[in-house]
Amino acid sequence: MRSTGAARWIIAAPMALLAIATIYPMLYTLNIALKSRVDYVLDRGGLTTDFNFQNFVDAWTQANMGRYYLNSIFVTVVSVALILLISSMAGFALSHLTFRGSRATFLLILAAMMIPFQVIMVPFIKTLSDFSMINTYPGLIVAYVSQFLPFTIYFMTAYFARIPKEITEAARVDGNTIYGVFGRIMLPLGRPALLSMGILNALFCWNDILISLLVMQSPSQRTLMVGVSALRGQYPDNVPTYLAGVLLVVLPLIVVYLIFQRQITTGVTAGATKG
Amino acid sequence: MTALLGSRPDVPTDVRPGAASAKRRPRRRFTLERAAPLVLVFPAIAILLVFRVYPLALGVNFSFTGDQELNGVFIGLDNYVTLFTDVRFHAAARNVIVVLLFVPLEVLVAGILATFIFLKVPGHRFYRSVYFLPVVLSPIIIGAIFNIVLAANGPLNDVNKALGLPVIDWLGQSNSALPSVLGVHIWATFGMALVIFLAGFSTVDQELLDAARIDGASLGQTIWYVVIPELSQTIQFVFVTTTIGMLTGIFGLLYTMTAGGPGAASYLPEFLIWKLNGEAKPALASAASVVLLLLILVIGLLQIRVLRRATKEV
């Protein structure tokens, strides 16, 4: 399946162009964010010369970004912790234990995975408000947990199913309770899957806009993405400061991506190949 | 069993030390252990029933009731009638067809690029990393960046000018707004389809490839007769996830880039539902949700089929 050397270089050329097309918009944004407002108006396209970091300072201090960061970090961390705990418990039960209703439970999870949030958004908000959870952090956390749980359970079930049942049976013969097997055997063995799902769900929660817009309506409780999308209105005629704010949000995502690339791709490819 | 044990009272049934004390309080431990599977799945089931299944039923019910002064009153199919005569609904329905036309494009682009990367073109690792990068970025960020890039006075139009092409207000014209947003969506997500393809490639039986080479198959023949049949599951999976992504994952881009406009030119069902809900017409929005559900259901049943096969164990 190896093509000849020359052909491979010919293929590489359009791929390089596409790579540039992928990175260019981000570099363009960085270039503008480093310009002063005057410089931007006079010469949009040219490379920045003054490396004006004031835009970043302005975006951070004036636009309440620090507060939005804290809100997003809090909600993301709690949601992801709950998702991982609940999904690994369910995944263990579904893959290693036999009980009545396990098939029905698995079907419920698949069905829940199929229903996109948009379809239930109106009654979901109604349900949340019946619990008085609109505009509260628990409300947003419950929204994220219920949204991202089905896929994570599916993933954990598939992952645990690959661990031989002999291991869990041996652990029980050694005198462990089922809970002991879960805590001492399954969770440690499931660490790669938990890491993968942890990163992926953190990205989902961090990047969400629709759920956050619906659940959190007061400005001080905004998550980062809602805060950033509001920046545009705050700086209608100051594009460099707006884009500096955007880059402050991009930065942690790129760092996470560079560190956890492998875990992220493992997460998104689940179910794509034969058993 | 009792009779059997009773006939040999002198033989201890369990000689392990501590067996007797373990037997003294067997009931409680026994039931907690027996309940373990249910204890473990209970939180998941409870959350899904309360926050997924119940709202779904509630929403279907909503869709047959009225809004505002008719709140809670059964009005039959009136919402659906209103919906089917709404221009924004027509726009959204038309746009779904446009969206479905873009799906094969994304799958094809990702498939071809994945093939090249699988063939280890120079720099394949680098390309793989770069192509996937936008996947981790929020649609809000991507939308913000492309608002600038696609602006009437933005860099893309600078390129057009330099090449002598007409300057286009990509997001401001009704015939280019949605295709532009979909193009950005493909830019942002083809890396996802690409890594799924690569995961599929890694399962292709190397012996089949070697056999094809020994038999003198050309690269094209190898791809057509060996790789594609081997990848059928992956290809289905990519089609389903890409379609669902396009129908339910563009809200963030629409919200930042076009707000559904100009007019209703770039409305999609998810945006329409959000908009109707915001206009204090939750019942009408619920009717639109049911329509979207039916659409997703067809695609979702395909998805279940594909996923069930991937976890044969359950």
Token pair in block for residue A258: 């560079």
Output the pLDDT for position A89.
Answer: 96
Q: What is the pLDDT of residues A172-225, one digit of tens each?
A: 898 889 999 999 999 999 999 999 999 999 999 999 999 999 999 888 888 999
Q: Is A265 on the interface with B (CB under 8 A)?
A: yes
In this prediction, residues A5-32 reach a mean pLDDT of 83
Token pair in block for residue A163: 């661990």
A101-to-A89, B31, B37, B41, B227 alpha-carbon distances in Å: 16, 18, 10, 10, 39
Q: Is A181 on the interface with B (CB under 8 A)?
A: no
A–B CB contacts, 8 A cutoff, strictly below: 322
The more confidently predicted of residues B308 and A13 is A13
Token pair in block for residue B65: 């009731």
Output the pLDDT for position B306.
Answer: 65
Average pLDDT, chain B: 83
pLDDT more than 90, % of chain B: 40
Q: Is A197 on the interface with B (CB under 8 A)?
A: no
ipTM: 0.87
A19-23, A225-229, B120-124, B141-145: lowest mean pLDDT where?
B120-124
Q: What is the pLDDT of residues A34-45, one digit of tens each?
A: 888 777 877 777
Token pair in block for residue A149: 């749980």
CB B234 to CB A272 under 8 A?
yes
CB B248 to CB A106 under 8 A?
no
CB B203 to CB A225 under 8 A?
no
Q: What is the pLDDT of residues B207-223, one digit of tens each?
A: 888 888 888 888 788 88
CB B123 to CB A182 under 8 A?
no
Most confident of B27-36, B126-135, B155-164: B126-135
Q: Provide the chain B residues 14-73 that lie in CB contact (below 8 A) with chain A.
A: 29, 32-33, 36-38, 40-41, 43-45, 47-56, 58-59, 62
Output the pLDDT for position B290.
Answer: 93
Question: How far is residue A119's CA from residue B141's CA, in Å, rounded to a whole number?
Answer: 24
Question: How far is residue B188's CA from residue B102's CA, in Å, rounded to a whole number?
Answer: 14
Output the pLDDT for position A273.
Answer: 64
pLDDT more than 70, % of chain B: 87
Nearest-CA distance B248 → chain A (Å): 7
Q: What is the pLDDT of residues B270-298, one digit of tens each?
A: 999 999 999 989 999 999 999 999 988 88
Q: Is A4 on the interface with B (CB under 8 A)?
A: no
Q: Are A142 and A136 in contact (CB under 8 A)?
A: no
Residue B23 has pLDDT above 50, yes or no: no
Q: What is the pLDDT of residues A92-129, one digit of tens each?
A: 999 999 888 899 999 999 889 888 899 999 999 999 99
A132-141, A261-270, B41-50: lowest mean pLDDT where?
A261-270
Q: Which helix (H) or strand (E) holds B145?
A: helix B139-149
Token pair in block for residue B92: 């959204």
Contacts with B131 from chain A: Cβ below 8 Å: 18-19, 22
Residue of A nearest to B213 (CA): A1
Residue with tokens 């239930």: A120
Q: Is B305 on the interface with A (CB under 8 A)?
A: no
Question: How far is residue B74's CA from residue B34's CA, in Å, rounded to a whole number?
Answer: 46
Q: What is the pLDDT of residues B96-113, one digit of tens each?
A: 999 989 998 999 999 989
Choices 3.20.20.80, 1.10.3720.10, 3.60.20.10, 3.10.450.50: CATH for A64-234: 1.10.3720.10
Residue A7 has pLDDT above 50, yes or no: yes
Domain ranges of chain A: 5-57, 64-234
SS (H, E, C) B205-265: CHHHHHHHHHCCCCHHHHHHHHHHHHCHHHHHHHHHHHHHHHHHCCHHHHHHHCCCCCCCC
Q: Provide the chain B residues 78-137 that lie in CB contact (below 8 A) with chain A.
A: 113, 116, 118-123, 126-127, 129-137
pLDDT more than 90, % of chain A: 47
Q: In order of start, what are the domains of chain B with their CATH numbers?
A: 86-310 (1.10.3720.10)
How many Cα atoms are found within 13 Å in the side-chain-facing hemisphere of B81? 7
Residue type, A120: I
